[in-house]
Chains A and B, each alone.
Chain A
Amino acid sequence: MKHSFFDKYSYLDTPIHRIRPEIKMIFFLIFTSFVIIFEKKHFIFYILSFVGVFLISLISKVPFNFLIKKIITILPFVFLVAICNFFSKSKNISTALYTFLNSSLVVFLLILLVETTKFYELLSVLKKFRVPKILIILLSFIYRYFFVLIDEIEKTLYSIKLRSPKKYPNKKSLANIVGMLFIKSFERAERIYYAMIIRGFSARDEHN
């Protein structure tokens, strides 16, 4: 099956795409650290930052509505963090608002980073930054098998639709689907592990 890949714009050729991935990653890390350390910033900072995000998206040809769509899926979590912050800290609405703005800004930039850099280039940057190999392998697995998992879910849902008059499965079927997906994932993980061992992988080495 063909999916809309989450890094589908990473193969474009624009000035932003051509910037070395190391530079993009360092900029992202510095900017994120700044946003986290200085929690409350002047409102102008946010206006300039969001204008910056818009300009980057314009130059990199990543459609702004695509960014908005992506952020909408993450927004509920960002909102939840802001609400938690509101109740756990000062019960001040401005703190919640700042948390919301800071998180949204970081997520916008993260999406732009992924959309303007090929995923394997990001992984090679992490490797250069001495991120443990086991973590990099784990990230590459998530990237590689996310689509396989979506395929499995789609196939299972089609199979239910073809044999059921209802549009969506009932709770019992849903529980069975989740159970079966878990078993399938477990079995596949085992086969992948065999494939890795056969090709010389040793988990012990990866921790060093």
Chain B
Amino acid sequence: MNIIEVKNLTYTYPDGTLAVDNISFSVRENQTLCIIGPNGAGKTTLLLCLVGVLRYRGEIKIFGETLNYKNGGDIRKNIGFLFQNPDDQLFMPTVFEDVAFAAKEFKYKEEDVEKLTNEALKKVGLEGYKNRLSHHLSYGEKKKVALASSLVLNPKILILDEPTSNFDPATRREFIELIKSLICTKIIATHDLDMVEKIADSVILINNGKKLKEAKPSEILDDKELLTQNRLI
């Protein structure tokens, strides 16, 4: 069953730059889709369109419902989003406040907020970090807290923007395992081909806002010429 269907998605920045150019694809339940492409290919813009924060042209259906500005809030309740830079995502003073933010905004009861926050922190291995200050954490810890804040409402869809960038090798390995262990539909924008090989069910290659190829990971990763042309190796 497809839980995300994207048809002819186009997004143009206010300065006229065409960032996403007529892209269509679909994602099945519990599938892991990796969107790969060089810097500036339009990956982040595409992800922001998928959660309805940018005013795109085309159609996005999530859980069979067309995403628009009226139902965006309700649909986003089931979507977790991890930003590339955790400083963009962690805006509250303490780890607890940050992770609990979505649960509070969606008006969960106080005891449920506490329970969900503790569970999310446990999932990323940061129990005991509740009262720590977000800006005192290391980059890896910040990224884990950011992931916990995306997981707090147990989303059915998880969208990750460059989840492994700027990690040391061990933390990167742990983070990949962590992502792999999460059971939900995942859309990951990255140019970490090693991670793609480990966790992707299917891959979309984009460049200059256009979808160039959609295939199984091995089919794209083995095409060295295609990867070279698109500055991925």
B29-37, B94-102, B197-205 - the one binding chain A: B94-102
Other-chain contact of B53, A144, A147, A197, A202 (Cβ < 8 Å): A197
**Which residues in B have their C-beta under 8 angstroms from that of A188?**
87-88
Cβ–Cβ contact B93 & A123, under 8 A: yes
| Shortest Cβ gap from A130 to chain B (Å) | 17
Q: Which of B100-159 contact A (CB under 8 A)?
A: 101-102, 105-106, 133-136, 149
* Per-position 1/0 for B68-84, Cβ under 8 A of A: 00001100110101010
| Shortest distance between the CB of B110 and any CB in chain A (Å) | 13
Contact with B along A179-208 (1 / 0, CB 8 A): 000000000100110111111111001000
Q: Does A141 contact B (CB under 8 A)?
A: yes
Query: How many residue pairs, one in A and one in B, have C-beta atoms under 8 Å apart?
Result: 67
Question: Is B25 engaged at the interface, CB distance under 8 Å to the other chain?
Answer: no
**A:1-51 near B, CB below 8 Å:** 5
> In the complex where A120-B97, A144-B134 touch, is A202 in contact with B105 (Cβ < 8 A)?
yes
Complexed CA–CA distance, A191 and B93 (Å): 17
Which listed residue, B76, B97, B134, touches A200 by the CB 8 Å rule? Answer: B76
* Cβ-defined contact, B135 with A201, below 8 A: no
Cβ A120 vs Cβ B93 within 8 A: yes
CB of A142 to closest CB in B, whole Å: 10
Binding site for A on B (CB under 8 A): 48, 51, 53, 72-73, 76-77, 79, 81, 83, 85, 87-94, 97, 101-102, 105-106, 133-136, 149
